[in-house]
Structure 1
Amino acid sequence: MDLRQLRYFVAIAECGSFSKAAQRLHIAQPALSQHVRNMEIDLGVELLFRSPQGVRPTEAGETLLRHARVMLGQMEVAREAVRGQQSEPEGEVRFGLPGTISQMLCVPLITEARRRYPKVKLRVAEAMSGFVLDWLREGKIDLGVLYRTVTDKGLEARRVLSEDLCLLGPVAPMGAPHPAAGPVPFAQAAGLTLILPSPGHGLRDLIEERAAAEAVRLTTVIDLDTYGQIKLLVEGGLGYAILPAAAVQREVEEGRLKTWPMGVPVLTRDLHVVRPSDRPLSQAVRVIEELAHATLIGLVRDGVWRATLVDPDDHAAP
């Protein structure tokens, strides 16, 4: 095997088909298929399941995929080291963001990255926090933002800010009266008809941990993993939700939704920028990590993101 074959294999696995990978790599599909077949013969194992719907890695293929991503990343780092650190950062950076963070961070981060580092290709993927963590573990992304610290030996988390969660409801009461003005105790919020992310989602886990600590039961009518749809259902009067204030700021200002602060103790969650610690990082990844950190700080300092900085002395991007 050589690095070219590994690059081809990664593209096929990510695209899910030979034809899409061939288009992405700008090579003929038969040649691509032959490269994979040569790898399978060389290794003595089948690397891909082939079906009319496309292809996906076998168990052996998944193992090769993890190692291939690491090797290709290390080659990129080595290439940069040879060129010298004084050169302008360049290359691809894959960044994973949960939806509530993406709607706040994505546009200013991409805008500033294009201005500062025109040779860096920033690819942002949006998914629930559990998927972002899996992508980091599997080497599918270079950086991620998570609402929880990580215990994986191969990952390093940098805590940036802490934000309060609030109770979200429709403007007009739905059947029963709204909660009274002022902070709503968690036990009272848990007794409302709630629309929450499904179990396994970071926010849902946090809410369930608080419910267990207070020995209360959550009344969940709908499990939904899309924040935009959760807000629409709440606006339509189907229930209440527990979300960060920053995620609903626009709808509240437009008079479409109503929020209540959560009572003592306040329900909060921390935000971390996470990167791999078990492999070298390219110069492009390092500068985007620092830019993301600085951009988050700037959003808080400018009042765009209602949150508390972990380190008040942190500096935003100029």
Structure 2
Amino acid sequence: MDLRQLRYFVTIVEVGSFSRAAQVLHVAQPALSQHVRNMEMDLGVELLFRSPQGVRATEAGETLERHARLILNQMEVAREAVKGGQNEPEGEVRFGLPGTVSQMLCVPLISEARRRYPKIKLRVAEAMSGFVLDWLREGKIDLGVLYRTVSDRNLEARRVLSETLALVGPARPAGDLLGTDEPPPGPVSFTTVSHLTLILPSPGHGLRALITEQAQAESAHLSTVIDIDTYGQIKMLVEGGLGYSILPVAAVQAEVQEGRLRQWPLGQPVLSRDLHLVRPCDRPLSNAVRAIEELAYITLIRLVQEGAWPATLVNPEEEYSRKS
């Protein structure tokens, strides 16, 4: 095997199709197929499972993909080192973001990255925090944002901000629709929330885990009638009077300002969650990754300082930490 074959293989797995990979790589599809067959013959195992819906890696293929990503990343770092560390950063950077972070960070980050670093190709992937963490562990992304600390020895986390969560309800009284009394105007306890009809992210979602943990700490049992992982759909259902939810203040500020939703402070002290910028520490980082990492940190701080993101900044001197 050579580096070219590894790069071809990783691309095929990423896009899940020989034809799409051929377009991305600008290589004839028969040539790609031949490269994979040669690799399978060389290793003596099947690397890809082929079906009418596309291709995906076998167990052996997943193992090869992980190692191939590490090798290709190290070669990129070596190339940059040879060319000189003072050169303008260039190359591809893969950044994983939860949906709520993406809607706040993605546009300003990409815009500023294009202006500052035109030779960097920034690829942003959006998913729930659990998937972002898995991608970091598997080497599928170079940087990620998580709403929880990490316990992996191979990852470092830098806490950037803390954002407030709120109980969210329809703009008009929903007692008649939901058969429940309106929450009081002040900070609402989880005991009160336990009597409300709730629409929340499904179990396994990072926000749901935080909410459940806090409710259990207050001996409150929450009752959900709808589990849905898309914040946009949750807000639409709440606005329609089908229930209440618990969401970040930043995620509902537009709807609250427009009078479409209402919000109540939740808990005493008010419930919040921390946002962490996470990077791997088991492999060298290219200049391009380091540049985007610092730019993401600066952009997050600016969004908070300008009031675009209702949150509190943590100690600006706080550096990355990892599990020892």
Q: TM-score, normalised by structure 2?
A: 0.95
Are 2:254 and 1:284 aligned?
no
- In the other structure, the counterpart of 2:125 is 125
- What is the SS of the residue equivalent to 1:137? helix
Count of residue correspondences: 314
1:312 Cα deviation after fit = 5.0
1:191 Cα deviation after fit = 2.5
Are 2:210 and 1:206 aligned?
yes
- In the other structure, the counterpart of 1:161 is 161
Structure 2 matches for 1:39-188, cutoff 5 A? 39-174=39-174, 175=176, 176-188=180-192
Distance of 2:316 and 2:113 partners within structure 1? 24
The RMSD of aligned alpha carbons is: 1.1
- In the other structure, the counterpart of 1:308 is 312
1:124 Cα deviation after fit = 1.0
- In the other structure, the counterpart of 1:243 is 247
- What is the SS of the residue equivalent to 2:95? strand
- What is the SS of the residue equivalent to 1:110? helix
- What is the SS of the residue equivalent to 1:95? strand
**C-alpha deviations, 1:89-115, integer Å up to 9, x for none?**
111111111111111111111111111
* 8 A contact 2:167–2:244 mirrored in 1: yes
**C-alpha deviations, 1:12-37, integer Å up to 9, x for none?**
11111111111111111111001000
Distance of 2:312 and 2:195 partners within structure 1? 28
1:196 Cα deviation after fit = 0.8
- In the other structure, the counterpart of 2:220 is 216
- In the other structure, the counterpart of 2:322 is none
- For residues 32 and 312 of structure 1, do their structure 2 counterparts lie closer, same or farther at Cα, with a shift above 3 Å needed? closer
- In the other structure, the counterpart of 1:273 is 277
- In the other structure, the counterpart of 1:18 is 18
Distance of 1:5 and 1:169 partners within structure 2? 54
Distance of 1:205 and 1:2 partners within structure 2? 44
Distance of 2:242 and 2:163 partners within structure 1? 26
Of the three residues 225, 232, 245, the one matched with 1:228 is: 232
* 8 A contact 2:187–2:270 mirrored in 1: no
Unaligned ranges ≥5, structure 1: none
Distance of 1:294 and 1:102 partners within structure 2? 15
- In the other structure, the counterpart of 2:299 is 295
Amino acid at match of 1:191: H
1:128 Cα deviation after fit = 1.0
- In the other structure, the counterpart of 1:27 is 27
- What is the SS of the residue equivalent to 1:293? helix
Distance of 2:9 and 2:211 partners within structure 1? 41
* 8 A contact 2:89–2:288 mirrored in 1: yes
- For residues 49 and 262 of structure 1, do their structure 2 counterparts lie closer, same or farther at Cα, with a shift above 3 Å needed? same
Structure 1: which 4+ aligned runs deviate by more than 4 Å? none
* 8 A contact 2:189–2:266 mirrored in 1: yes
Distance of 2:90 and 2:294 partners within structure 1? 15
1:190 Cα deviation after fit = 2.9
1:85 Cα deviation after fit = 1.0
Unaligned ranges ≥5, structure 2: 319-324
**C-alpha deviations, 1:275-307, integer Å up to 9, x for none?**
111001110100110111111111111111111
Q: TM-score, normalised by structure 1?
A: 0.96
- Identity among equivalent positions (%) equals 77
Amino acid at match of 1:164: T
- What is the SS of the residue equivalent to 2:49? strand
